[in-house]
């Protein structure tokens, strides 16, 4: 992606994509990058003992159950939030995406928990968190900010892990504000 975007590229990654962005930046730092709640396994595996039951649900074709298990055990959403989400029209779409989660969760768990390796990343970094996101995700971004010398955290008021969907205008504003500092 960096080859296509050119030398002045700003990388943006959300969730698992933010983890991939961090990994790329360790070997090929961009001009700047934006990370939206990377799920680093800093307090232990994200998948852990819940992964086999999740994989069985996917194998059985019970993608709604797999999504429930993933939201409960990997994302760590409260049951009330999962129940509300289940009633939304997007539930079947999100359930259809669960088969890729096992591979991603395994990659997350193998990424390691050492944040100190990111201290060498001196490029400007915007760490985006949602005010309503699971605390373990927002904590990771805040802890990353402590080790990254050129990092800044911006919190999206009233938003969760998906502000790019629920408030794209505010998300675009945060991105543009960050990018404008890099081009000034």
Burial code of 67-103, b = ≥16 C-beta within 10 A, e = fewer? bbbbbbbbbebeeeebeeeeeeeebeebbeebeebbe
d(CA 119, CA 149): 6
- In sequence order, the 6+-apart residues with CB closer than 8 A to the CB of 91 are 64, 67, 85
**Rounded to the nearest 5°, which phi and psi values hold at 157?**
-60, 135
* 184 pLDDT more than 70: no
Q: What secondary structure does DSSP assign to 67-78, as a single string?
A: HHHHHHHTS---
Average confidence (pLDDT) over 165-177 = 95
* 102 pLDDT more than 90: yes
Average pLDDT, the chain: 93
Average confidence (pLDDT) over 133-159 = 95
pTM score of the predicted model: 0.87
Average confidence (pLDDT) over 129-155 = 95
Q: Which of 16-20, 25-29, 62-66, 87-91 has the lowest mean pLDDT?
A: 25-29
CATH fold of 2-43+114-183, please?
A: Rossmann fold (3.40.50)
d(CA 133, CA 35): 14
Q: Where in the chain is the domain with CATH 3.40.50.1820?
A: 2-43+114-183
> For the chain, what percent of residues have pLDDT higher than 70?
99
> For the chain, what percent of residues have pLDDT higher than 90?
82
Measured from the Cβ of residue 39, the count of other Cβ atoms closer than 10 Å reads 23
d(CA 114, CA 47): 18
């Amino acid at each position: 992606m960096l080859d296509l975007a050119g030398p002045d590229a700003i990388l943006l990654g959300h969730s698992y994509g933010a983890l991939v962005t961090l990994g790329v930046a360790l070997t090929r730092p961009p001009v700047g990058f934006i990370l939206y709640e990377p799920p680093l396994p800093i307090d232990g595996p994200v998948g852990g003992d819940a992964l086999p039951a999740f994989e069985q649900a996917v194998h059985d074709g019970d993608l709604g159950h797999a999504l429930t298990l993933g939201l409960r055990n990997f994302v760590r959403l409260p049951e009330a939030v999962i129940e509300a989400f289940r009633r939304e029209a997007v539930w079947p779409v999100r359930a259809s995406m669960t088969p890729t989660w096992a591979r991603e969760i395994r990659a997350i768990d193998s990424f390691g928990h050492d944040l100190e390796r990111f201290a060498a990343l001196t490029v400007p970094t915007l760490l985006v968190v949602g005010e309503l996101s699971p605390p373990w995700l927002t904590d990771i971004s805040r802890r990353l900010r402590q080790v990254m010398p050129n990092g800044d955290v911006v919190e999206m008021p009233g938003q969760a892990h998906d502000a790019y969907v629920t408030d794209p205008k505010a998300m675009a504003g945060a991105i543009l504000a960050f990018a404008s500092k890099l081009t000034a």
